[in-house]
């Protein structure tokens, strides 16, 4: 899987939220200032080439839908973050946020409980 640019990710976020739609539908859901129609159309075609999106053709119109789920891309992004900045260690990531003051002791404890639960679930 390839990493998305900021603009591509913005379009994907909208597409994930609407599940399928035409370029005009995606534009309607985007925040102001909205990009130009042609910009979104170009980005969606790039996403299609990257394997993130496909379409159903209705004459000259195309209804787009995601091929990659938001959870799949989230997992990919987090794994890239972990490997690129924290040597693949979730502990180093959590430590970074704890040292930076973004996690208090209670949040850290909840995080550890969730991670333990996830690990046990994956071992089954």
What tokens appear for 62 in the block?
């195309």
Domain-ending residue, one of 33, 66, 99: 66
Taking only the tens place, the pLDDT of each residue in 27-79 is 999 999 999 999 999 999 999 999 999 999 999 999 999 999 999 999 898 88
Q: Compute the average pLDDT of residues 102-110.
A: 76
C-alpha–C-alpha distance, residues 36 and 41, integer Å = 9
- The tally of domains found in the chain comes to 2
Taking only the tens place, the pLDDT of each residue in 84-96 is 888 887 778 777 8
Same domain? 55 vs 84: no
C-alpha–C-alpha distance, residues 52 and 60, integer Å = 21
Predicted local confidence at residue 99, as pLDDT? 78
Same domain? 56 vs 86: no
The residue segments making up the domain with residue 42 are 6-66
Judge whether 1 lies within some domain. no
Which band of pLDDT confidence, cut at 50, 70 and 90, is reported for residue 116?
low
- Tracing tokens 């989230």 back to the chain, one arrives at 74
Q: Compute the average pLDDT of residues 96-112.
A: 76
- Spell out a b/e string for 20-56, using b for 16 or more CB atoms within 10 Å of the CB, else e: ebbbeebbeeeeeeebeeeebbebbebbeeeebbeee
Same domain? 19 vs 53: yes
C-alpha–C-alpha distance, residues 68 and 86, integer Å = 25
Same domain? 59 vs 28: yes
Same domain? 59 vs 18: yes
Same domain? 56 vs 13: yes
């Amino acid at each position: 899987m390839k990493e998305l640019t900021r603009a591509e990710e913005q379009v994907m976020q909208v597409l994930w939220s609407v599940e399928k739609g035409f370029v005009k539908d995606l534009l309607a859901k985007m925040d102001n200032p909205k990009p130009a129609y042609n910009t979104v159309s170009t980005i969606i075609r790039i996403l299609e080439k990257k394997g993130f999106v496909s379409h159903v053709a209705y004459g000259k119109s195309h209804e787009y839908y995601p091929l990659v789920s938001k959870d799949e891309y989230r997992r990919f992004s987090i794994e890239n973050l972990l490997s690129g900045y924290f040597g693949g260690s979730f502990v180093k990531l959590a430590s970074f946020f704890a040292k930076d003051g973004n996690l208090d002791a209670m949040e850290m404890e909840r995080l550890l409980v969730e991670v333990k639960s996830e690990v046990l679930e994956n071992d089954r």
